[in-house]
Amino acid sequence: MALQHRVACIQMTSSDDISSNLSLAQSLIQDAVEQEAKLIILPENFALMGFDQADKIKHREEIDNGPIQTFLSSEARRHGIWLVGGTIPVAVPKKRNKVFACCLVYDDRGRRVGRYDKIHLFDVHLRETKEDYLESKVIDPGEKVVVIPTPFGKLGLAVCYDVRFPEMFRLMLKQGVELIALPAAFTFTTGSAHWDVLVRARAIENLAYVLAACQTGIHVNGRRTYGNSMIVNPWGEVQVCLPENQGMIIAEVNLEFQNRIREDFPALAHRKMKIEEK
């Protein structure tokens, strides 16, 4: 396995128009491919940022069957890339009023090779700005931490609010995680306060690359998202960041560099698990 790879994160201001969102995603994927990216991450809700949560029910797809999934598979196969499909609403069996916030991974032949259902749901009231979020109204939480083998290293999958729960990423370490894909739609309020430090912390404490692809700007329902898509290396350095506007960022991940850090600074081997278990 080669030790250096070009990866890209796409930043969007998605709307309630799925066709328009997919067209923009296609254009930005093309831009990343032209810069030789082989692994591309799309943001959370890349295909749909509707007026309200009910839009997710209206546009939900059965797993492996639907236009958004067809788009992801086709783009991966056409360009010969690995593609992390942000999140899309996938039907929950026997629950007509619920979906999973589902992050799907496709390989360079267009095959679905990974699925992660968002575990931590954003049920938050921000009193000062009068913002209310209740993802659990229509989203069922996932239950499984997911790390998949790829040509670029072992890839962990997390989504947005998950970044606040470090224990989830420690479970990824047990599966040998080297890269973490983090599609997000962080609010402007919470992003301004915490986004940078949270993303860098997850990279530093796990000595892993974090590839964070974000929503940005003001959406059709008035919600403002923070942007600041970034690629952070295992030493916690921000290799590249896009503060606002739609576009994409690209950087190299170097597993030799990561291995050297993990050998020279063996913090992962110094964890006292017996203390954690008491």
Output the pLDDT for position 275: 53
Classify 4-277 by CATH class: alpha beta
- Long-range Cβ contacts of 141-149 (<8 Å, 24+ apart): 141/117, 142/100, 142/116, 142/117, 142/118, 143/117, 143/119, 144/116, 144/117, 145/119, 145/171, 145/172, 145/175, 146/114, 146/115, 146/116, 147/172, 147/175, 147/176, 147/177, 148/105, 148/113, 148/114
Q: What is the CA radius of gyration of the chain?
A: 18
Active site residue 118: yes
Question: What is the distance between the alpha carbons of residues 79 and 275, in angstroms, rounded to a whole number?
Answer: 48
44 is catalytic: yes
DSSP-based three-state secondary structure for 22? helix
Reading the chain (278 residues) residue by residue, the pLDDT tens digits are: 678 999 999 999 999 999 999 999 999 999 999 999 999 999 999 999 998 888 999 999 999 999 999 999 999 999 999 999 999 999 999 999 999 999 999 999 999 999 999 999 999 988 877 778 999 999 999 999 999 999 999 999 999 999 999 999 999 999 999 999 999 999 999 999 999 999 999 999 999 999 999 999 999 999 999 999 999 999 999 999 999 999 999 999 999 999 999 999 999 999 987 655 54
Is residue 38 annotated as a catalytic residue, yes or no? Answer: no
Catalytic residue among 44, 61, 75, 135: 44
Q: Quick check: pTM over 0.85?
A: yes
102, 103, 160, 241: which one is catalytic? 160
Instruction: Parse the chain into domains and list their residue ranges.
Output: 4-277
Q: Which residue among the candidates 118, 154, 214, 241 is catalytic per the annotation?
A: 118
